[in-house]
Amino acid sequence: MNPASVLPAMPGATPVSGLDSAWRWSPNPMFTFTAALSTDGRHNLQVNVRGPYDEGLVTALLAHARAHDGEFVGRGRPLVGIGGFRHPGSAFDTVGVATAAVHGYHATENPELSAVTYAVFPAYASEISGRENEEEAWGRFRKMLQPNKLDRAPVPFVKMRYDNTRTGSASKGDARGFAPLATLERELGLLEDASGSFVEWENRHGDLWRADSTGDGILLTHDGTREPADTERLQDVARSSVR
């Protein structure tokens, strides 16, 4: 597979101004695809955008990914965040990169190209740990992060489990699973007067917090320490823990 010959031959492909060995094409009015060769010329770094397209932002994402492709090409990690990204007018601070098993780009029409393609997308440092396994990376990329949106809000890395004796709501199994930050905030807000209930959550660094509702109030445990906490304190901790 030689992506240098395949990419410029995409229907309607045109060179990207300001970035060597990069091409842009649009399969339909809703989507715009932009691809650039990796530094070794053997891999495709591709940004897929649905909706409004920002040429400057996409070009900057690909340039940053290419400059740091030694951090992910051939490294075997299904989902990676490359920090240090800045672009005027954009709040994104990280470039996300996903492997073929996660993104599925070109999987049907050109499996050989898909195998050497890395999905590049705008991201936030709070979203990616770099320790996600393939299943977790697939779920984050496909169901939560909306990687083809250039105007999306952050979706922080939150893994949690909970059980509420008052509402009867609980997570399934003993393992912590991915959840929106809003779910964590909601369940923490329901701990008051729900004796025997708990909420346990983990951030992208693997740090762990647990809030337990007792007959005497709520106890927050983190890093070997326990403290009484009201709902306001819990919400503040939750938001700061996933930044």
Cα atoms in the Cβ-side hemisphere of radius 13 Å centred on 61: 33
pLDDT digits (tens, 9 = 90+) for 217-236: 999 999 999 999 999 999 99
Residues 186-196 have a mean pLDDT of 96
Rounded CA-CA distance 23/168 in Å is 53
Do 107 and 169 lie in one domain? The reply is no
Average pLDDT, the chain: 97
Which long-range contacts does 82-88 make (Cβ < 8 Å, 24+ apart)? Answer: 83/125, 85/60, 85/61, 85/122, 87/56, 87/57, 87/60, 87/61, 88/56
Confidence tier at 215 by pLDDT (50, 70, 90) = confident
CA 130 to chain centre: 10
- Note down the domain range covering 104: 3-144
* Together in a domain, 200 and 226: yes
Regarding pTM above 0.85, the answer is: yes
In a domain, 149, yes or no: no
Q: Are residues 59 and 103 in the same domain?
A: yes
Number of domains, the chain: 2
Statement to judge: residues 110 and 187 lie in one domain: no
List 14's β-bridge partners, or say none: 24
Whether residues 94 and 135 fall in one domain: yes
Give pLDDT tens digits for 29-47: 999 999 999 999 999 999 9
Within-domain flag for 37: yes
Of the three residues 110, 144, 178, the one that is the final residue of a domain is 144
Kindly report, residue by residue over 90-148, the tens digit of the pLDDT: 999 999 999 999 999 999 999 999 999 999 999 999 999 999 999 999 999 999 999 99
Kindly indicate the confidence band of residue 72, based on its pLDDT and cuts at 50, 70 and 90: very high
Residue 150 inside a domain? The answer is no
Quick one: residue 130, left, alpha or beta (phi over 0 = left, psi -120 to 50 = alpha)?
Answer: left
Q: Is residue 89 part of a domain?
A: yes
Confidence of residue 1 (pLDDT cuts 50, 70, 90): confident
Question: Residue 82: left if φ>0, alpha if ψ -120 to 50, beta else—which one?
Answer: beta
